Structure 1
């Protein structure tokens, strides 16, 4: 962000919020002093103070006299739907986790992916299809598209042993995410992978993420029977 954009308290707030959301500043981290931020952004200290007060009121920061300002460990007043690590989700349920890479290719994005990533064209993206198992039963079919313009390493990443779900969570931050939940009839390929009858209603999650306005990934997660989605709200 340029100094011109951070001359106002709204601009400073936007940049601080970006650093929090991208995990450049992680929960519990102490952030720089107001005077240091003012020098970095080229603005008055009062401008920084106004921005930090606003973020503290929104629950993203914790401000204490003499101990400075930290990123809130538990941001308040907002619903949180985590992006789960599927492996840990299975293991937390006391089940044995299994993973199989079904395919990886550079393909032209289909219309639902183009729309989901808010793209203007059907660019060639890294397309990965993988199956997650729980106690050797199909658990989640991961049908993922990754934009190599935003994530160059995805083109050469080895997804044969580590899922793109896990690889992205470890390596690529995001600043925005959108999620859609629906039931879709299983097509022949999905039915075969999840071991269900063709046409069976499948719990389906479509999720897209962006980093600073650039599309990162679009994934369609198709779930096996008895899957439960959990979310939490901190007050």
Structure 2
């Protein structure tokens, strides 16, 4: 049903601003339950193609917005999908007072105690991704007990720690001495980087900066 509605919008059968048929009429046309129609329309509204208002019906959006869907990826799966052998190595691990910038990003007190980790993800033994991560042990105390020999912090958090919201930034950065050393790159080399902070309700879980090896390209779909 969603595919057909998308087609009608794309081919201007239903033009921007048009009021589309009601749920009961669409249910009769497609031979399905009205609840099924409601879910389909709601999904298209969330993607930006439709505008829904109570008692006013559903219209084709005047300015449709295509939204890219981003998920927190498991780095191991990305490496293995490329046909390479995955590895992870801890470079540094210790409890520290949160730096001012990190505390502000996570919404924590500036004297908060966090677990700081630096690690390197590898593909066939060569550097793939460098990460510097701050973890709020108040939110996830079990994290401190893990040795991460079988599973990286990235994968452990994805599998074990829920989050309700997050903030992601994409940026180009010159390789710092630590990043350059880990990724075997020249200091100052342009790197693609991601900064990501996640919260569970109002409690910050983790803030991480990821720096990929030179030449890395990220792709997504819209």
Which TM-score applies when normalising by structure 2? 0.69
Q: What's the RMSD between the two structures over aligned residues?
A: 2.3
Alignment match of 2:80 (pick from 66, 70, 91): 91
Per-residue CA shift, 1:77-127, capped at 9, x if unaligned? Answer: 043112110000011111121211112211112233112212232311111
Structure 2 distance, partners of 1:180, 1:118, is: 16
Which TM-score applies when normalising by structure 1? 0.66
Tell me the SS of whatever aligns to 1:170.
Answer: helix
Give unpaired runs (5+ residues) of structure 2.
Answer: 1-31, 48-66
Matched, 1:208 2:197: yes
Q: Which has the higher contact order (CA 8 A, sep 6+)?
A: 1
> CA separation of 1:229/1:67 partners in 2, compared to 1, >3 Å: closer, same or farther?
same
Matched, 1:146 2:114: no
* Aligned residue pairs, count: 169
Per-residue CA shift, 1:120-155, capped at 9, x if unaligned? Answer: 323111111110011221100111111011111112
User: Superposed, which structure 2 residues align to 1:10-159 within 5 Å?
Assistant: 65=33, 75-76=43-44, 77=47, 78-159=67-148
Tell me the SS of whatever aligns to 2:68.
Answer: strand
> CA separation of 1:103/1:200 partners in 2, compared to 1, >3 Å: closer, same or farther?
same
Structure 2 distance, partners of 1:81, 1:124, is: 30
Alignment match of 1:188 (pick from 167, 177, 180): 177
Matched, 1:224 2:209: no
Contact 2:189 2:214 in 1 (8 A): no
Contact 1:106 1:127 in 2 (8 A): yes
Contact 2:104 2:110 in 1 (8 A): no
Q: Which has the larger radius of gyration?
A: 2
Give unpaired runs (5+ residues) of structure 1.
Answer: 1-63
